Structure 1
Amino acid sequence: MNIIASSDSAYFPSAPSLSSQTTTAVQSRAVGPDVLRSLAILLVMLVHLPVEATPTLLVDVRKYAWLGVDIFFVLSGFLIGTQLFKELSRTNGVDLKSFYLRRVFRIFPAFFAVLGLYAIFPILRDAPTMQPIWSFATFTVNFNFDPRVGRAFSQAWSLCVEEHFYLVLPLLILLIHRWISVSWTLAIAGAIVIGGMTLRYTLWESQVGTLVDAGKLRDAFAVYLRDVYYPTYTRLDGLMFGVMLAAARFFKPKLCQRYTPPRVAIPVGIAFIVAALALFSIRGPLAGTNLFLVFQAQLGSVVGFPLISIGIALILGAMLDLEHVLRRWPVPGTVMVATLSYSLYLTHKSVFHIDRLVLGEENLQGSFGFMVYLVTSFAVATVLWLCVERTFLLLRDRVLSPGK
């Protein structure tokens, strides 16, 4: 996440007239990305909350709260893409050392602090079994991540996807920026989308479908997560559409104004997301099996992810265009939640596990359990942010921007 730590602040054009010749941009805390980031982390926290501790009004929302990860992916693609395009237009290059060091200072300290606690104190683990520590430390845990073998700290899979994205995107931009064109950009994006759909279909047919046909539904769901849902090469849609949004807004702002104004982007974006969620609800041969009420079946898995990503990208673009409106009516607590989102992401599963150990699972039902979950999660996240995140961000600024 990160997904969650994709950027230290939101970059957005200061005026619609920005073009590819722009060499400066206003760096500011944009309301739109903060609202989406806050929504994303709250959804991620909800999807990991047991049904018994979920308020009745949120039970149906919980079924689709996995959408929070896709929001994070689009945000990461947009924010990191904009950061790189801004530097490219200003210097005709990318300072790889500075970029990677900033990512290291942003991601590693809090992550390895939490991973260390998981390794040293098994009581903190939110599940009895855990993947090998080395796979977390090398950000490769999302490859061959079988939940039947170990589920503790499972949310780290999405951070691995982000780390691979951070590693590759600057290099890719440096390699192709001199000759890339609109047509080539669209061709690459199309290839990524079609390739991802083909790969997910093939993996479903060869790995998941055979288990479904054999009636081994629990194994089928675990294999679906392992082979279709977690790997980086199957989850590029959100990141890619985020980068596409960044490129379109930075290099072709007039086209964005003409074809995707908020009055168009918002309803179309919502329509894409609703269509995707409808596809995820079509369970085909899995219909009627209680175990798979939230199972993402083949049709949704193949085409649902790109549809969701397009929808989120359109809504994000519209929110950036409506920044002046959003600033007049800020959502209370948004900045706080967005600021703590990475620490919340890293700790929320372990926190509720400790809540259950201390208070008893039977005492954490319904709305009371939900409130305990929120209060303790935010308390722990605040401590992690103050003691680790903020400390290393200040150190990063001192190391990379001396004298400022």
Structure 2
Amino acid sequence: MLGIKIDYEKRIYGFDLLRAFAIFCVIHGHGKHLLTGTMLEGFPWVPLPRGVDIFFVLSGFLIGYSFISGAAKTNGQLKFGKAMNFWERSALRILPNYYLLLAVNYFLVKSEILNGSVAKFSPWLFATFTQNLWYPFYDFFWESWSLATQEWFYLLFPLLLLFFTRNNRLKQSIVIISGFFITIAIIYRINISGTVYDTFWWDVNFRKVALSRIDSIFFGVLAAWVRFFYAESWKKFALPAFISGIVIFLIMSSIPKNTESIYYNIIYLSLSPIFIALLFPLIDRLKDSRSVVGRFITVISFLSYSMYLLNLLFIQLIDKHYPNLLANHATFKYLLFLLVTFTGSYLLYQLYEHPIATLGNKILHTSKMMYKRMDNGRSSGKTPEK
């Protein structure tokens, strides 16, 4: 579809649908003010979860399941080659777009085309994804906060698995590692909850600091742990889990978000990934759709990373430079924003991301074979041939 080659047989349609819904939540959250004063104000007229929370839990689930199932095939021990291959592939997927949009944002803010401050930009911090590791940042390339959280998960989770699965204690290791990071995140939020914040600064200090949010990803890992080790229960309780997740979300949506409350400062950000993870067993059952709509949803899922990086940039450009565009047709302005975001993401993929990925995959194929020989050599106690 649209010239994008996708192996639909290897896609999990239910999670593609969830990923497409997540990116809609993100984009709509940034552009919904365009509908103010129209018949669609308040659309879709029901509370929506935070799209980033969905991405966090889904990332933890898919990556966690990949490592758990992979380690289980090698006597419960993660092989170094699999970890290296994952690090290389995630770098190929994340870094090209990230560094390109980082440079674009710097140029636009420096040129005052976008609002913001380059004083908040540090090449070293942004290059190493440490701009919000345990302290807040703001006013420059806002959307990068979640990428930093994800990247530290990508680095630390396989690294700790390599260490903890040496004694073939995969099942216990997943729980210990996940429990550690969930505890750390909660302790961090407890530690900073004594300060009174307004809504803006609560968002900056609580929701957009990596150490405060990494628990969301590890709740996804725990869901993968249940999916692998308790597969029958995963299937049996899919519907009750889904209903429980929806009920938790509705309760969360009805509780006032008081930035001075213990609930909002400490509990809320851990409840969100729990309700999302409870949806997964039923979503896991959704089969691949061969319809045009189903394939388009998969394309949206496929382009969601690019759409995430571009949508805030586009809405800022529209708000600053074209505030009166389609002033009497705000609904069309909103639809234009969606179209520009999708088109920009499509072009970014076709002209930049795909060519880099094609070249990178050829290199990674060679390195994968090398790591496989290394792992086989370790297993047999021999040194691999050069």
CA positional deviation for 1:60 = 6.3
Aligned partner (choices 352, 356, 359) of residue 392 of structure 1: 356
In 2 relative to 1, CA 356–223 (structure 1 residues): closer, same or farther, beyond 3 Å?
closer
Separation of aligned partners in 1, 2:306 and 2:45:
21
The answer to whether the aligner puts 1:71 opposite 2:60 as a matched pair is no
% same residue: 24
| Superposition map of 1:148-227 within 5 A | 150=139, 152-177=140-165, 178=167, 180=169, 185-186=174-175, 189-190=178-179, 192-205=181-194, 207=195, 209=196, 220-227=198-205
The 8 Å contact of residues 241 and 278 in structure 2, kept in 1 or not, is answered as yes
Offset, 1:59: 2.5
The alignment partner of 2:14 has SS state of helix
Q: Which of 350-359 and 40-49 deviates more?
A: 350-359
Name the Cα RMSD after superposition. Answer: 3.1
1:255 Cα deviation after fit: 3.3
Matched, 1:36 2:27: no
Hey, what's the Cα distance between the residues in 1 that align with 2:304 and 2:183? 32
Alignment partners' CA distance in 2, 1:94 and 1:250: 21
CA distance in 1: counterparts of 2:107 and 2:39, whole angstroms: 37
Q: Distance in 1 between matches of 2:7 and 2:211?
A: 27
Asked whether the equivalents of residues 351 and 380 of structure 1 are also in contact (C-alpha less than 8 Å), the reply is no
Partner residue of 1:97? 84
**Cα-to-partner distance string for 1:104-131 (whole Å, 9 max, x where unaligned):** 1111111111111222343586423242
- Look up the match of 1:14: none
Contact 2:61–2:223 (Cα < 8 Å) also in 1: yes
Structure 1 unpaired stretches of 5+: 1-7, 11-26, 212-219, 286-296
**Secondary structure in structure 2 of the residue aligned to 1:59:** coil
The answer for the alignment partner of 2:231 in structure 1 is: 253
1:312 paired residue number: 276
| Correspondence for 2:217 | 239
- Provide Cα deviations, 1:154-202, integer angstroms capped at 9, x if missing partner: 0110010000100100011112223536566546545544543343233
CA distance in 1, matches of 2:214, 2:70: 23
Q: Whole-Å Cα distance in 2 between the matches of residues 127 and 146 of structure 1?
A: 15
Matches of 2:60 and 2:116 in 1, distance apart?
34
Letter in 2 for 1:88: A
Map 1:81-160 → 2, pairs under 5 A: 81-91=64-74, 92=77, 93-95=79-81, 96-122=83-109, 123=111, 126-130=114-118, 131-134=120-123, 135-143=125-133, 144-147=135-138, 150=139, 152-160=140-148
TM-score (normalised: structure 1):
0.77
Q: CA shift at 1:353, angstroms?
A: 2.7
Alignment coverage as a number of residue pairs: 351
Q: Which moved more, 1:359-368 or 1:242-251?
A: 359-368
State whether residues 277 and 304 of structure 1, in contact with CA within 8 Å, keep that contact through their aligned partners in structure 2.
no
TM-score, scaled to structure 2: 0.80
1:43/1:62 contact within 8 Å kept: no
| CA deviation string 1:221-273 (max 9, x = no partner) | 34323331111111123201111111221233123234x2x221210111122
